[in-house]
Structure formats: structure tokens, C-alpha cells
Structure 1
Amino acid sequence: MALHDIVSPLPGTFYRRPSPDADYYVAVDATVAAGAVVGLVEVMKQFTEIETDAAGRVVELLVEDGEPVDAGQVLMRIEG
């Protein structure tokens, strides 16, 4: 099985859930489909959905909810 890095397309703030009172999109060991939304990056009140490029299992979360990220930064890894 190959590891797929999910990266931020732009700098901003990464969110693991759609709103403060909602559940996280994914957790470690969660199974995801290709194209699934796994987080959001906010820049100046504009939110960009982060989608997977491969189906598989989330094996590592590298950024916490509400943490600043850079463009190209790895957010999580999926084994698939």
C-alpha cells in the first residue's frame, strides 16, 4: 500500500471540522473515499475544502484543528 500526502493548497488556518460544534471530518484509522472532504483551509474568511486524491485509511494527522499552515504543507497521510 502506498502513502498519499494530503497537502494544503494555500497558506491559512486549517480546520478539521466544518464548524466549532461539529465532529471532525476524519480521525486516524478512518476510511476515506477518493474526493472526500477531510478539512478546510481559511484565508480571509474564505474557506477552501481539502479533498483526498486517493481512497484509503488515514494513518497520520500532522496538523491540529485551528493551526496555521503554509502552502504545500502536509496535513495528513492516507494509506491506500
Structure 2
Amino acid sequence: MYTTSTIAQTDRAACESEIEVLRRERLAYEQEILETDARRHEWQRQAADDLAVQYIMRTQALEAGARVDTLEDTGSSS
């Protein structure tokens, strides 16, 4: 025969078990969000690095073109 105390203990154990399941689900969800954010930040960092390399290469190409133009101007005026 179940007593009120036994029923209360069973209910309490069931509630604690449910709370633990919800905590684990919440932690898994938060971990997923953090991992998604980390991937997004890495993608943004890589995109910024790629853009910086493009600008450096474009600047070097412009500088090289300017040197050629300068040499051509100097050579034609002699």
C-alpha cells in the first residue's frame, strides 16, 4: 500500500528526473548555438582575410604598374 509519503517521493523523483532531462536539452541547445556562432565567426574572419589579401594584391599590381609607367616616362624623355 502506498502512503502519501511514498507517492510524494515518487512524484519528487519524477520531477527531478524531468528537470535533469530539460537541463541536458538546454545545455545541448546552448552548445549548438555556441558552435554555430563559432563557425560563423570563423567564416567572417576567413572572409576578412581573403578581402585583405585581395586588396594587398591589387595594391601591389597598381604599384608595379606605376613603376613601369615611371620607367617608361623616364626612358622616353632621355
Structure whose residues are more often helix by fraction: 2
Q: Is the TM-score greater than 0.5?
A: no
The higher relative CO (CA closer than 8 Å, separation ≥ 6) is in 1
TM-score bucket of the superposed structures, by smaller chain:
under 0.3
TM-score by length of 1: 0.13
TM-score by length of 2: 0.14
Structure whose residues are more often strand by fraction: 1
